[in-house]
Amino acid sequence: MGIEDEQRDISPTDESWRDKPFRQSRSGMTWNRWHALLVRWLAGEPIAALALEHGVSRSAIHWNAKKMGMRKKDHRDAVRLPKGPAPVRIEMVDGVPVEVVCAELSFRFDETDPDATVASICGRLRVASVAGADGHYSKLLRMVDQTVRVMGRVRARLAGGAAPADDEPGARLVLRKSQRPPGLFPDGRDWSTWLFLGGRGAGKTLAGASWLADQAEALGEGGRLALVGPTLHDVREVMIEGPSGLRALPRWTRATRPSFEPSRRRLVFAGGCIAHAFSAEDPDSLRGPQFSAAWADEFCAWPAVGARGAGETLALLRMGLRLPLPGSPAPRLVVTTTPRPTRALISLRDEPSCALTHAGTADNADHLSAGFVESLRALYGGTRREAQEIEGRVVDLDGALFTAEMMARARLAPSNPSFRGRAAEPGTQEGCTIVDAAVDSESGPLGSGFALRAPRKDAERLERIIVALDPTTTATGDACGIVVAGARRRPDGVREAVILADRSANGLSPGQWARRAVRAAQEFGATAIVAEVNQGGDMVAAVLKTAGCALKVREVRATKGKRVRAEPVAALYEQGRVRHAPADGVPLSALEEELMAFGGEMEGAGSLDRADALVWAVTDLLIDAREGEGPRIRQL
């Protein structure tokens, strides 16, 4: 009796139920479909291909074959496939291989088109992998893929042509200034930590991946790097495999692209350097390993583990950065994140060896969907969400005196009417010599990039301009706050303050910040310098005089806490009587971030010297205004 006769004997003689899907079948299998599948299986079709076609498992096929009496051992005519690796049969036509058959797998072989051959192989082997085929298929995939690629390169060389395009590295990316590693500090010191704060889609991941790839190429064989993300999933899907991750960089070819070994949690570069992956959820895994450099992504999203916050996890990472790094006096760390108002971030930002760069989402708009930035700003413009997620700035917490809405309202004023011209390029303007301040080793880079050596002559509507100074007594202490502001009377008769520039800086000695303040006074034609003397006392006025200050220095003392002093200024912001109109067009981002720290959780996390200087400036101009100081002209 043959297979067909046996099937007739075991098949039911009637009934419509044979075409009704079984209740427990997710793929809609009926008795008739199972019967047809088993007939094909007994005829020799591979079980893996049948399982994939019908959306069932191989174990389900065996179970139903037993239930329906259609097991291969029950049928002497059933075709049995050989065990072990599937045999390979190559069909030849006129001595040219045309089709390769490997059990249930078959693919077209075209020696003139290696890419088509590889695509056919990959498609067939993926089908077998999904169906649960044996592991030798994945090995076969790699071997055949490499063989065909080598064949293509050899053919190209014999023909005098170039290798396939995907074996050539792509053009090096042109990174924006904010995405490139920062230079030296004004005093010549090098940085050990680079903090890149950016909005969503601002290019933070690309900056971190490009920098780490440079370090891997410099270290070569034996180099050790660290990749730390909020979770291991984030490390793999964003930092390594993401569209801007390490493996996606156009610098790699097929041969040099780093390979990720998920079981060992490491990325192996072609040069031999190894980058190990860590999760911030397991900070103790950072104990023991050592590295030359590290990239920490989305620092503000790192979870707190027990009593340890993100700052403690970062500390454990830094203790492992103890191997030498070529071209650097010490190991280096790059932190890329969308900011949140956390103590860990503020403490990191205020470290003397931390270099800060910043980018908003709009800076990368050319590589984003058209209208993406505009649509978000239409929804969240002027809110904390815009400031934090789009502009990439540290914004306020509940209870803070200054809010993101206040900062946005202060920036809504039209361009500064107090100056007819702006120093845009080195040269001269109205008799004032403009020099590139980036090469001024004493003062360091100014906020605008240029410094005017002579007083500006084009102020026309500001009644009074001052420079507010919150000095530091040592070069290694907090930042020195230097803010330039002026006062004017609006058409409705209300006086308001205009913040013209923020010249604050870190790492300046008393002589350096004094010269910096004097230059700011000369640039804007200030009539006085308001200096806090709680630290330094009489030394502040003496240092300013030594630096060439010929203006009146008004000394002020802080007898109340920062919050108490700032409350009247916050009320002026609420009334719309303070405007941010920088004369050089550079946003006052760092100053605004410090203002939004007043009264919030961040207040004790870092210095607020910029904000303190602004509070003194607005207080002097509006709250303690001296109407009789100096001649002035008003339009009647």
Residue-by-residue DSSP string for 325-361: BTTBSS-EEEEEE-----HHHHHHHT-TTEEEEEE-G
- Asked if 484 and 619 sit in the same domain, the reply is yes
Query: What 3-state DSSP class applies to 554?
Result: strand
* Predicted local confidence at residue 140, as pLDDT: 55
Residue among 232, 231, 291 nearest 261 (CA) = 232
Instruction: Please name the helix (run of DSSP H) or strand (run of DSSP E) that holds residue 482, with its range, or none.
Output: strand 481-489
- Asked if 12 and 144 sit in the same domain, the reply is no
CA distance linking residue 572 with residue 413, whole number of Å: 15
Whether 400 is covered by a domain: the verdict is no
- Asked if 69 and 124 sit in the same domain, the reply is no
Whether 507 is covered by a domain: the verdict is yes
Which of 32-36, 112-116, 123-127, 556-560 holds the top average pLDDT?
A: 32-36
Whether 358 is covered by a domain: the verdict is yes
Q: Please, which pLDDT band fits residue 6 given cuts at 50, 70 and 90?
A: very low
- Asked if 265 and 297 sit in the same domain, the reply is yes
H/E/C letters for each residue in 174-234? CCCHHHCCCCCCCCCCCCCEEEEEECCCCCHHHHHHHHHHHHHHHHCCCCEEEEEECCHHH
CA distance linking residue 360 with residue 367, whole number of Å: 13
In this structure, the dihedral spanned by the alpha carbons of residues 432, 437, 442 and 446, taken in order and rounded to 10 degrees, is 100
Whether 23 is covered by a domain: the verdict is yes
- Asked if 587 and 619 sit in the same domain, the reply is yes
- Asked if 225 and 364 sit in the same domain, the reply is yes
Q: Which residue has the higher pLDDT, 329 or 120?
A: 329
CA distance linking residue 633 with residue 462, whole number of Å: 10
Query: What 3-state DSSP class applies to 307?
Result: coil
* Predicted local confidence at residue 96, as pLDDT: 57
CA distance linking residue 55 with residue 96, whole number of Å: 37
> What's the number of domains the chain is made of?
4
- Asked if 352 and 265 sit in the same domain, the reply is yes
Whether 379 is covered by a domain: the verdict is no
Query: What 3-state DSSP class applies to 37?
Result: helix
CA distance linking residue 260 with residue 264, whole number of Å: 9
For 190-199, 262-271, 402-411, which range has the lowest pLDDT when averaged over its residues?
402-411
- Asked if 208 and 343 sit in the same domain, the reply is yes
- Asked if 215 and 262 sit in the same domain, the reply is yes
Q: Please, which pLDDT band fits residue 340 given cuts at 50, 70 and 90?
A: confident
Query: Under 8 Å CB-to-CB from 4, ≥6 apart: which residues?
Result: none
Among candidate residues 165, 198, 218, the one where a domain is terminated? 165
Q: The domain containing residue 51 runs over which residues?
A: 3-74
Inter-residue contact 518 to 547 (CB < 8 Å): yes
Among candidate residues 374, 406, 441, the one where a domain is terminated? 374
pLDDT, tens digit, for every residue of 415-438? Answer: 444 433 333 333 333 323 323 333
For 249-253, 497-501, 504-508, which range has the lowest pLDDT when averaged over its residues?
504-508
Going by DSSP bridges, is the β-strand pair 266-268/274-279 parallel, antiparallel, or unpaired? Answer: antiparallel
- Asked if 284 and 189 sit in the same domain, the reply is yes
* Predicted local confidence at residue 554, as pLDDT: 85
Whether 404 is covered by a domain: the verdict is no
Whether 170 is covered by a domain: the verdict is no
Question: Hey, what are 429's tokens?
Answer: 């303007």
User: Locate tokens 């980018």: which residue?
Assistant: 359
pLDDT, tens digit, for every residue of 87-131? Answer: 555 555 665 555 555 544 556 666 566 666 666 666 666 555 544
- Asked if 330 and 351 sit in the same domain, the reply is yes
Which of 128-137, 264-273, 601-610 holds the top average pLDDT?
A: 264-273
In this structure, the dihedral spanned by the alpha carbons of residues 553, 559, 564 and 566, taken in order and rounded to 10 degrees, is 10
* Predicted local confidence at residue 316, as pLDDT: 92
CA distance linking residue 580 with residue 611, whole number of Å: 13
Segment 450-456 mean pLDDT: 38
Q: What percent of the chain has pLDDT over 70?
A: 69
* Predicted local confidence at residue 211, as pLDDT: 94
* Predicted local confidence at residue 214, as pLDDT: 92
Whether 382 is covered by a domain: the verdict is no
Instruction: Please name the helix (run of DSSP H) or strand (run of DSSP E) that holds residue 466, with its range, or none.
Output: strand 464-470
* Predicted local confidence at residue 422, as pLDDT: 33
State if pTM tops 0.85: no
List phi, psi (to 5°) of 260.
-100, 130
Which residue blocks in 509-608 are alpha helix, DSSP H?
A: 510-524, 538-546, 562-574, 589-595
Residue among 155, 156, 159, 148 nearest 254 (CA) = 148
Going by DSSP bridges, is the β-strand pair 464-470/528-532 parallel, antiparallel, or unpaired? Answer: parallel
CA distance linking residue 353 with residue 174, whole number of Å: 27
Q: How far apart are the first and last CA of the chain?
A: 118
Q: Residue 75 pLDDT > 50, yes or no? A: yes
* Predicted local confidence at residue 102, as pLDDT: 56
Cβ count within 10 A of residue 189: 13
Inter-residue contact 540 to 531 (CB < 8 Å): yes
Inter-residue contact 32 to 18 (CB < 8 Å): yes
* Predicted local confidence at residue 575, as pLDDT: 86
Q: CATH number, domain at 344?
A: 3.40.50.300
Sort 253 into a burial class: Cβ within 10 Å, 0-12 / 13-18 / 19+.
middle
Residue type, 226: A
List phi, psi (to 5°) of 283.
-60, -30
Q: Please, which pLDDT band fits residue 352 given cuts at 50, 70 and 90?
A: confident
Residue among 222, 342, 261, 240 nearest 600 (CA) = 342
* Predicted local confidence at residue 148, as pLDDT: 55
Among candidate residues 41, 74, 107, the one where a domain is terminated? 74
- Asked if 21 and 137 sit in the same domain, the reply is no
Cα 553 off chain centre by: 44
Q: CATH number, domain at 578?
A: 3.30.420.240
